Amino acid sequence: MEKTLSIIKPDAVKKGVIGKIIDRFESNNLRVAGMKKIQLSRADAEAFYAVHKERGFFGELVDFMISGPVVVIALEGEDAMTKNRELMGATNPKEAKPGTIRADFADSIDANAVHGSDSVENAAVEIAFFFSQRELS
Ligand code: AMP
């Protein structure tokens, strides 16, 4: 069984669609292995997105990710990483296929509702960033 990390971003938490997004996962055979609602510090967000620190959008991305609480979720299932990315849709919601989470709940490339790990290797690193072993089952 593969694991991946999802983050329900501040825009989607503010809209009150946490449950609707989790339903997309559970209805598509992705099980919640771990979950918590947290307020990221600036240091947390900068460390989590360190790979993007040279990109022009880094500052806005960090500001956005600390603008309110997020829900971090470790998902588990067959092909969990790829399946989650299919369910999310394209990074830019204007390009996301109808029926995807971003097409249905996101407003802009910054406020794009969800994050999903982009490889199985990164998923392991990202899950370890947020969860201790005892928080995963
Ligand atoms: P990720 O690719 O998921 O590691 O995270 C990058 C995040 O940065 C995306 O999910 C977007 O919310 C945000 N972002 C803002 N501008 C851009 C851009 N031009 N290209 C890619 N991501 C962007």
| pLDDT, averaged across the chain | 98
What is the mean pLDDT of the segment spanning 9-23?
98
pLDDT for the residue 56: 98
How does pLDDT run across 67-102, given as a tens digit for each residue?
999 999 999 999 999 999 999 999 999 999 999 999
> Residue 33: phi, psi to the nearest 5?
-90, -25
Determine phi and psi for 41, rounding to 5 degrees. Answer: -85, 165
> Which 3 state secondary structure label does DSSP give 129?
helix
Q: How far apart are CA 125 and CA 107, in angstroms?
A: 28
Residue 33, SS3 per DSSP = strand
Taking the CA of residue 111 as reference, the ligand 1 atom at the shortest distance is 12
CA of 134 relative to ligand 1 center, distance in Å: 30
pLDDT in tens, 107-126: 999 999 999 999 999 999 99
3-state helix, strand, coil in the chain (%, to 5): 45, 20, 35
- Ligand 1 centroid–CA 110 distance in Å is 7
Distances (CA, A) of 38 to 35, 77, 136: 10, 24, 16
Q: Which residues pair with 6 in a beta bridge?
A: 73, 116
Sheet holding 31-38, edge to edge: 31-38, 70-77, 2-8, 114-116
Rounded to whole angstroms, the Cα distance separating 103 from 94 reads 7
Answering whether pTM is above 0.85, one says yes
Q: Ligand 1: does its nearest atom lie under 6 Å from the Cβ of 112?
A: yes
pLDDT band at 105 (very low <50, low <70, confident <90, very high): very high
**Residue 115 annotated among the catalytic residues of the structure:** yes
What is the spatial distance between Cα 89 and Cα 86, in angstroms, rounded to a whole number?
Answer: 6
Q: Which of 109, 118, 121, 122 to mutate to test the pocket of ligand 1 (most atoms within 8 A of CB)?
A: 109
